[in-house]
Amino acid sequence: MTVPNLFNVLFLCTGNSARSILAEAAMNHAAIGGGKFKAFSAGSHPAGYVHPLALELLREQRFPTEHLRSKRWEEFSGPDAPHLDFVFTVCDNAAAEVCPVWPGQPMTAHWGVPDPAAVTGTEEERRRAFREAFYVLSRRINLFACLPFDALNGMALKQQLDKIGCER
């Protein structure tokens, strides 16, 4: 069944274990995405697992985690892939890499966030890094979800997406 005005969004990162996973889960949460979006995540060099602190944080937020997995971005560039409306890179490495050609030419933007999985220190410092990444991504997703898509032409929408990527 196709949901009218449902936008497919792909969040990309290198490892697809933390930031892109957090963004996927946040956008798919009804309170944030408002049912207008179906989010996915992938990585150029997936870690092969979802970071335990990402899962812990999402469970604390009462977000479903059963479906989350680390996967390659090629899953979203083939003929059987879902049509993508938007593709966002959420880490600096993925933004600098050569991405696949996305069928349908989705709108793209870079929404870089520091990598919480790279933080060393105490357990509390590591958890804080995951919370900060989650809050930045959630804020951006909320701003994105509130855009008047019907009223914005392609160039104006692209400008708004890029502006959101600068929000902290």
- Return the CATH fold of 7-164: Rossmann fold (3.40.50)
Residue 143: how many other CB atoms lie within 10 Å: 15
Q: What is the pLDDT of residue 151?
A: 85
Q: Put the strands of the sheet holding 86-89 in their side by side order.
A: 37-43, 7-13, 86-89, 107-110
pLDDT per residue over 103-128, tens digit each? 778 999 999 999 999 999 999 999 99
Separate counts of helices (H) and strands (E) for the chain: 6, 4
Q: What is the pLDDT of residue 30?
A: 76
Question: Can you tell me the distance from the alpha carbon of 52 to that of 74, in angstroms, rounded to the nearest whole number?
Answer: 24
Flag whether the pTM goes above 0.75: yes
Two structure tokens written together for 137: 């991504």
Q: What is the pLDDT of residue 157?
A: 92
Known catalytic residues?
13, 91, 99
Please name the residues in contact with 132: beta carbons below 8 A apart, sequence gap of 6 or more: 114, 116
Does residue 2 have a pLDDT over 60? no
